[in-house]
Structure 1
């Protein structure tokens, strides 16, 4: 997310070739060192940020990291871009900073989800969709080479 005041209002960025994740809030970053991130496998990434306490936490495949302090602020009128880091409000794109892979089920809430709520989401149980971003109601614009596919299900595993 970017606003007219800060380029990285809220950003989750994985560095390559390491498995470090940087989480930005209001252009301030914290690093979550080597994470257990496998190539060519689905990864579930969740980040929480509490604007009152300034604490952030990264969840990777249902496992929480320690909480870190990044600070608090308000994110006002953001532009949300999925799969591309923006170096300016709605632009400043760089090809090496673009996501390559498959993306699904992006949800965003305007409050911190509890560990139990995150675990229910990970287990694909009932959960309330995001009140800021709801993947199923998302209106989007495709730019570049993007393929949109229906979600595949597996009858053997009921997924």
Structure 2
């Protein structure tokens, strides 16, 4: 649905290799993709890297708005995900926390506060 905020949550268990995806609080897919340990993580938002650490194609960049990106080093329960989606009551990510994020903006990027819809 265009022109509205969406909540996307994904989870990956490195031990079992299970990946789960939720869109607007609805579980959409569960799939085994393989497990491993990540020794040197790199997080890139808004751009698809064509090889590890770079080689970006500007035609593959995200166009839209991002807000409240968080990452944890443990699996959140379905109830914790639902609580976040329903009323934004959650513990910020311990790996990546949107409010504590240090970032670089390159090109035409606008930074603004997220506007919450009235209930």
> If the length of structure 1 is used for normalisation, what is the TM-score?
0.70
**Unpaired segments ≥5 residues, structure 1:** 1-37
| Gap change, CA 1:125 and 1:149, over 3 Å in 2 | closer
CA positional deviation for 1:40: 2.2
Alignment match, 1:139: 102
Deviates more, 1:127-136 or 1:116-125: 116-125
2:22 to 59, 73, 76: 59
Alignment: residue pair count: 119
CA positional deviation for 1:87: 1.5
> CA RMSD of the aligned region, Å?
1.4
| Gap change, CA 1:90 and 1:145, over 3 Å in 2 | farther
Segments ≥4 residues shifted beyond 4 Å: none
1:151 to 110, 114, 119: 114
**Unpaired segments ≥5 residues, structure 2:** none
The structure where helix makes up a greater share of residues is: 2
CA positional deviation for 1:140: 0.5
